[in-house]
Chains A and B, each alone.
Chain A
Amino acid sequence: MKKNFIILFFIVLIPINAFALIEVDITRGNLNPLPLAVSPLSIDDKSKKSFEKILKQENIGSEISTIVENNLRTSGLFNPLSKEAFLQAPDIANLKPRFEDWNLIKAQALITGKVTYVEEKLRVEFRLWDVLAAKEMMALAFTTVPNNWRRVGHIISDKVYERLTGEKGYFDTRIIYVAEEGPKTQRKKRLAIMDQDGANNKFLTLGNELVLTPRFNPTSQMVTYLSYFKNLPRVYLLDIETGTQEVVGDFPGMTFAPRFSPDGKKIIMSFAKDGKSDIYTMDLENRLVERITNHPSIDTSPSYSPNGKFIAFNSDRSGYQQIYIMKNDGSDVKRISFGNGIYGTPVWSPRGDLIAFTKLHKGKFYIGVMRTDGKGERLLTENYYQEAPSWSPNGRVLIFYRETKTNAKGEGFSAKLWSIDLTGYNERLVETETDASDPSWSSLLSN
């Protein structure tokens, strides 16, 4: 009996062993940007002529593909290949591409498409192909007024980004900032807005009064900012679509750092009075003001978590300025920054997982991120002076401003916008017409 069992045991066991599947764990890969080809969008002669008349652009198809290419390159996640290496012309590539040709130049993804002029409108079709699998990943068509062509490029970039990375893009967005001109002691500061890639720059105020800290409403094209009136800062609301501005209300003492709540219905800010500063919210519908913190220290720079349940802020209640979080009613205050140096301007990521901040340590300014429990602090960039990080709507990129040192004569001062992604490797200067500071990133225009 025992013998039989042993034999049975072996009979059962041996085949399992013989066919055991070999498993290999792949835990590393390369972090090189994904090589992809953006074929110029094809366009027929008739449409080309119509667009030349309306838009004064020679070939709208290749202009749009250039926008897509630039967007994807600046993201740092993609490497658009040189068009000179392409073996297929746009008109052929627009049909079913010959994948071997694209494989040959090491493209892993391919974007093709065509532009047509239909009923006085711009119609763009585009397709995203997986070259290695030789299949279509996505195909979409857009119709819009011809003047909107730049946005079509941005929307295509967003769709491609989303399909290949799994998270939403940030290209069809705008940035509001403070445009600065003149010598350092007599700066003229105007509110300005531009597309995320620096195009379509417009000034929103005249420069008569000082403007500070513009912030986008995360749900609409509304902006809140500070402007000085009778040497006192006041909180303003500006609707970018209609151009209407209004004062939110008069508050006792100085107001600072207004910012919208995630649902866009409240403004959170700090008031300074009698040498202390506390955090307040104001409901924009009924203009009711609510006090959130009540502490003899200076509490400022409040920022909501994306679910609205928590608030990050900085306070000097421990002696030095550090970052704290609390529930949205002001209870349960917890300090989260414990590193050396002074921490300020906490901004909660739209993705909810990180808090960006400015840190001052040994005379250097850093922009960094930490998890919401204060762990995993990473400093992304170091410089002489930089601050005010603002998140891209997908929580991958930060935009901030950096000032350069003046020389002994007080010359050489400049303030410029810079962006950096979470890896910390992809740092870029954002070109602006004038000097610029205090940027704020809008949410996606098309949702």
Chain B
Amino acid sequence: MNRSIIISSVLHAALIFITAMSLPFLAKKPLDIPPIVSVELIQIAEKTNIPFAPKAKKIIEKVKEKEKKLVSEQAPPKKVKKTKTKTVVSVDKNEKIDNKTPEAIPLPEKTVKKIETKKESKQNPDKLDEEVKQVSEFEKKELVDLDNIAKLIDKAKEDTAKVIKKNNDITQDQDNKIVTSGLTLSEEDALKAQIFGCWSIPLGLPYNEDLLVRIKLMLEPDGSVAKTEILDHARMNKPGQGFYKVLAESALRAVKLCQPLRVPTTGYERWKELQLNFDAREMLEG
């Protein structure tokens, strides 16, 4: 009797010991995992207004001076046109930065003024260009060519242009008709193809939401963009419209990247304002 009790208790003890050892939750080892430490997040965008590095400022000034020199040195007619528009754009950018950080970037006023005056003087041929629209391409080129040499000749040309304009009333009527019909198919295709290449679609956007960004552009005659305006601008900063903002920003980047836009060589009046409708749904649904 006693013997069987002993055997039984020994076996029971052994059983308890084995189960205790083999139970996974008892055999656990303290885990050695790096704890999740909190990270403080502070918005610093509004508090700070960082200036240019002293080095960078100097370099920028140098670059500007170089640009200035370039502008005054140019001789061939086509280059005049290109550099001219570039300086205009850079002045615009400077102004934007100036508005935001008036104290932070002590840009020498003189340089800005100088560039501005240059811009004004360059605008004369621009105006001429528009007024002499009806003159043939050949003559137009000649005009630009002469513009750097003497203003007197310009004036004479201007007068003749006015006369030609008066005589060409019929062609102006035709122009009006083109205005109503917009861009031709090939013109539109050229522009589309160019922007397709520049637009990196944000792939994270949902395909099933109403995301259409309409941007109005004011264009220069050479296709560079003078002004962009998002037509539903109010939607940009509304809460819960994060995707819309991302799409709008990507569209703006595409327009900036594509400058100058491939616009038709003639008929500036009809396309100086353009509306681009960016719609990514087709691509995202894929």
Contacts and interface: CB of A to CB of B under 8 A. Distances in A.
Contacts of A151: 37, 39
B192 A423 contact: no
A25 B253 contact: no
A193 interface: yes
A394 B206 CA distance: 12
A333 interface: no
A76 B202 CA distance: 11
A382 interface: no
Contact of A142 (B39, B245, B280): B39
A57 to B, nearest CB: 16
A147 B277 contact: no
A351 to B, nearest CB: 8
B51 A20 contact: no
Contacts of A140: 41-45
Given A98-B56, A108-B257, A140-B41, A23 B275 contact: yes
Contacts of B257: 108, 132
A351 B243 CA distance: 14
A76 B28 CA distance: 40
A152 B40 CA distance: 10
B142 interface: no
Interface residues of B, number: 87
A20 B182 contact: yes
A11 interface: no
Interface in B93-149: 93, 96-97, 100, 104-105
Interface in B45-100: 45, 48, 50-53, 55-56, 59-60, 63, 93, 96-97, 100
B280 A91 contact: no
B282 A27 contact: yes
B44 A202 contact: no
Nearest to B246: A166
A55 interface: no
Given A142-B39, A245-B24, A24 B183 contact: yes
Nearest to B255: A132
Nearest to B253: A132
A193 B33 contact: yes
A268 B151 CA distance: 86
B161 interface: no
Contacts of B36: 221, 241, 445
A286 interface: no
Interface range on chain A: under 10, 10 to 19, 20 to 34, or 35 or more? 35 or more
Contact of A22 (B34, B45, B275): B275
B53 A91 contact: yes
Contacts of B29: 206
A392 B132 CA distance: 62
Interface string A113-157: 000000000000101001011111011111111011001100100
A241 B34 CA distance: 9
Contact of A26 (B196, B202, B208, B242): B196
B1 interface: no
A284 interface: no
A202 B39 contact: no
A134 B96 CA distance: 9
Interface in A192-246: 193, 200, 202, 204-206, 208-209, 221, 227, 229, 236, 240-241, 243-246
Interface stretch (A28-36, A65-73, A399-407): A28-36
Contact of B40 (A95, A143, A394, A423): A143
A408 interface: no
A22 B271 contact: yes
A142 B40 contact: yes
Contact of B24 (A143, A208, A353): A208
Contacts of A396: 204
A31 B283 CA distance: 9
Contact of B246 (A18, A33, A165): A165
Nearest to A14: B176
Interface of A: 17-18, 20-34, 76-77, 88, 91-92, 94-96, 98, 100, 108, 125, 127, 130, 132-136, 138-145, 147-148, 151-152, 155, 164-167, 193, 200, 202, 204-206, 208-209, 221, 227, 229, 236, 240-241, 243-247, 351, 353, 394, 396, 423, 445-446
The 9 A-B pairs of least Cβ separation, nearest first, read A29-B199, A165-B204, A166-B246, A243-B31, A139-B45, A95-B53, A29-B201, A132-B256, A166-B243
15 contacts: A20-B179, A23-B274, A24-B277, A30-B196, A31-B201, A95-B52, A132-B253, A134-B93, A141-B42, A141-B44, A143-B42, A151-B37, A166-B205, A245-B24, A245-B28
